[in-house]
Amino acid sequence: MVSNSGALGFPRMGPNREMKFALEKHWRGKMDEASMLAIARDVEQQAWGIQMDAGVGLISAGDHCLYDNMLAWTEYLGAVPKRHAHLAPGNERMFAMARGIDNAPALDMTKFFDTNYHYEVPELETPVALQPNFANYLETISRGIAKMGADRTAPVVLGPVTWVHLARHANAEASEEATTALKDQYLDAILPVYAALIGKLAAMGVQEVQLHEPALVMWDSSKTLAAMFKKAYFANKACPMLSADVKVNLVTFFEDVGAEAYQWVTALPVSAISLDFTRGDSLKLVKGYGFPKDKVLGAGIIDGRSPWAMEPAKVVSLVREVASAIMPANPNGSDNIRVQASCNLQFVPWDVTCEGDLAEKVGGDVLAFAVQKVQEIVALAEAVPKITAGKEAKDIFPVLDKAWKAFSASVTDNTNTAKRLAGLTEASFSRPAPFKERVAAQQKSLKLPVLPTTTIGSFPQTAAVRKLRREFKSGALSAEDYERAIDQQISYAIGIQEALGLDILVHGEAERTDMVEFFGQQFQGFAFTSNGWVQSYGSRCVRPPIIHGDVSRPTAMTTREFKVAQELTLRPVKGMLTGPVTILNWSFPRLDVSRKEQAFQIALAISDEVADLEAAGCKVIQVDEPALREGLPLKPLKKADYLKWATDSFLLSTAIAKPETSIHTHMCYCDFGDCMEAIDRLDADVNSIENARSDNTTLQSFKEFNYKKGLGPGLYDIHSPVVPPVSTLQDKLEGFLKVLPKEQLVCNPDCGLKTRTWPQVLGALRNLVEATRNVRTLN
Ligand code: GLN
Ligand code: ZN
């Protein structure tokens, strides 16, 4: 066991997604709670075993949960919405909050900081009523202690400020002041609960608790957040949360905490402070302000959000710099460094050794998933004395050093992409004519009615369609037979759209499993795992591709299906592509090249496809960017830079289109208010957006911005199986027309239809077309 090493959490779905299948079976009523819990415990035991065997000094416990860790703490705290409060505390109530029951809908779900993991948003109600119940949590901790010993078990406690910060007022209309005041009341109410809990952990013999407060990195973003931290963790008087007989490691991640918060946090009476050295500039803070000699620095050096192995040269120099920065205050400084992952390892897959020839595909043995990352933590921790004694990276980690050097040598073979990037000019990022001229040219060639109708791209992915793709993949179906079957799907979709009377048609995306995977698989520079699942939410997992080299597109990816569709109809068929920013944000990027450069490389590949579609006769091309806003950095100061290169990437992929080609984009899951300028800068001729809120606030923000380009606010929510009646759709559209002129509006659902059934789609689109026709005659 290596005492100066620690872990902040381990994936919880199991090596083969055992928990996914157990949970889903349980929810379907096919597995009782006890059997499901037995699997959960087994996964937890495996995670602990792996970390013990690796020799990790302090191992997290209580980080595993059955749905989402935010939700788990909502349940432990008993901060349950009234609509679920009649249920008995425990897992079933937690599942009810996550998934909804009868007349009690689920909590909202949203992205956890800047990750692709979703958490369940706690709802704060008045009056504050808590029914804390930590039985399940404490039981986990005691199992951890039984297996690992009290001195090695470091319970993960989700910090009170982070929990409150990520919550929202139950009343969506509540003002900002009311929300702040209610958050403050909740904080007052939960702090004693936390103090009591930490006391209990101390009584169980635990020696160190890890208090996860990622919200600390957002300190600069709001005064109220800083005030909440000061209230929860005051430095001078005895803070109840920090006065139990147990050490506290205050853990932050995803960014540096910023200068002000750094000075505040280093003065707290905690025994360890954990900082993320992989994102933001924690090193600068430690260098600039020193580090107190009475505390341990939890140095998050092993990147918990990336599937890449540590790079010896980088991590060794980082450890050396951190050590020398804390030396002046503490000559034995290196003894106070504890090597950790930058965050919970839930954001990377379980084990890379089951991935067959993946290392060959990416160009070297340079990948590390969770199992490998805990080994890295220990190896690096062990190496600290050698590092501070001046030994070189290549001598400490010779094998990995060689692997990285081989990898670096292997990536630079794609000179054409580099050359193209070097040759970009301003014109590469702007459409050949201004919007006004473009719409005139487009109208001439497309001859669309006012309020044209369209859909977002996908049609139902029926069992038959999925079976086709599966059989093709396994080799049971020849390429020829597969294409013929896909073409049948296309002709069905086109026939239906013609019959419904839609104006801009789509081919239906039957050949695509996933909007990123479909393109990634045809790009050079992308690799796919066979079992590299990471939790997205609840039982849902995703398998992000790994970008490992320069990206290019050897041959056309979508023109065949476009042509099949367009030959069947005189109406325009939309070409359907995924945008560069979305592809990047839903993949694991490489680390040797900036995200911006990778986005540009993908953009060039997409622009090649735009040109090919045009050449094939495509007059409307949609480039989806649902994840554009997701990539926004946490620090306000970094936002402008991101939005600049993100919009540049979109422009780079679409600017190649002729003025008479109509470029559409689509964005969902998006709160547009704070990035209107960027959306406008995309210069798309039409933007279809999710518009779930009924009060037209989204539309208002477009109007207030004086947005002049085409807009397709979703007329109905595709997540619901309910077929919206004509009258509802008509009212909705009339409502839109009160805000924006008819010349600007396009009529469509709010996202792709792949999760719906054909009868639902037929009913909804029939009504959408009829409602639009009614409104056309009335206006
Ligand atoms: N074109 C895609 C579809 O219709 C868009 C999906 C998305 O926005 N998430 O499925
Ligand atoms: Zn969408």
Task: Report DSSP letters for 80-126, one per residue.
Answer: --GGGTTSPSSHHHHHHHHH-BTTBPPPPEEE-TTSS-EEEPPEE-S
Binding residue numbers for Zn(2+): 666, 668, 690, 751
Q: List active site positions.
A: 719
Q: Which of 235, 231, 154 is nearest to 192 (CA)?
A: 231
User: Which is nearest to 168 in space by CA: 116, 110, 114, 129?
Assistant: 110
Using CB distances shorter than 6 Å, the residues near ligand 1 are 456-458, 509, 515, 576, 624, 626, 666, 668, 751-752, 754
pLDDT value for 169: 96
Looking at the CA of residue 626, tell me the nearest atom of ligand 1.
Answer: 8
User: What pLDDT score does 417 carry?
Assistant: 85
Mutating to test ligand 1, I would choose from 581, 666, 667, 755 the residue with most ligand atoms within 8 A of its C-beta, which is: 666
| Cα 588 to middle of ligand 1, angstroms | 20
Ligand 1 atom nearest residue 455's Cα: 4
Binding-site residue set: 20, 116, 456-458, 509, 540-541, 586, 624, 666, 668, 690, 751
pTM score, whole prediction: 0.95
Q: Ligand 2 centre and the CA of 359: distance in Å?
A: 34
**CA nearest to 754, candidates 408, 570, 515, 397:** 515
Helices (H) and strands (E) in the chain, counts: 28, 21
Ligand positioned closest to the Cα atom of 622:
1
Atom 3 in ligand 1: residue holding the nearest Cα: 752
Report pLDDT for 172. 85
Give the residue carrying structure tokens 């939890």.
Answer: 298
Residue nearest to atom 4 of ligand 1 (CA): 752
Ligand (nearest to CA of 719): 2
Which residues touch 337 (CB under 8 Å, ≥6 apart)? Answer: 4, 296, 297, 299, 319, 322, 323, 326, 384
Judge if the upstream peptide bond of residue 81 is cis by omega within 30 degrees of 0: no
Pocket test for ligand 1, best of 515, 561, 573 (most atoms within 8 A of CB): 515
Residues tagged in the binding site annotation for L-methionine:
456-458, 509, 624
Q: Please, is 655 exposed, middle or buried when counting C-beta atoms within 10 Å of its C-beta (0-12, 13-18, 19+)?
A: buried
How does DSSP assign 377-428, residue by residue?
HHHHHHHHHHHHTT--HHHHSHHHHHHHHHHHHHHTT-HHHHHHHHT--GGG
Query: Could you tell me the distance, in angstroms and rounded to a whole number, from the CA of residue 427 to the centre of ligand 2?
Result: 29
| pLDDT for the residue 236 | 65
- How far, in Å, CA of 177 to CA of 183, rounded? 10
ipTM for this prediction: 0.99
Choose which residue among 111, 458, 506 to substitute to test ligand 1 binding: the one with the highest number of ligand atoms within 8 A of its C-beta: 458
Cβ neighbours of residue 670 closer than 8 Å, sequence gap 6 or more? 626, 628, 629, 689, 690
C-alpha 745: how far from its chain's center? 30
Q: Whose CA is nearest to atom 6 of ligand 1?
A: 752
Please tell me what DSSP assigns to residue 354.
Answer: G
Residue nearest (by alpha carbon) to ligand 1 atom 5:
752
Distances (CA, A) of 571 to 19, 415, 445, 446, 510: 47, 41, 11, 8, 20
**Cα-to-centroid distance, 492 and ligand 2 (Å):** 22
Instruction: With a cut of 50, list the residues of the chain below it in pLDDT.
Output: none
Task: Tell the residue nearest (CA) to atom 1 of ligand 1.
Answer: 457
**Collapsing DSSP states into helix, strand and coil, what is residue 525?**
strand
Cα–Cα separations (whole angstroms), residue 293 to 22, 297, 329, 737, 756: 47, 9, 6, 65, 59
Q: How far is the CA of 724 from the centre of ligand 1 (A)?
A: 20
Distance 667 CA to ligand 2 centre (A): 6
Ligand 1, closest atom to CA 578?
A: 1
Q: What is the 3-state secondary structure (H, E, C) of 666-706?
A: EECCCCCHHHHHHHHHCCCCEEEECCCCCCCHHHHHHHHCC
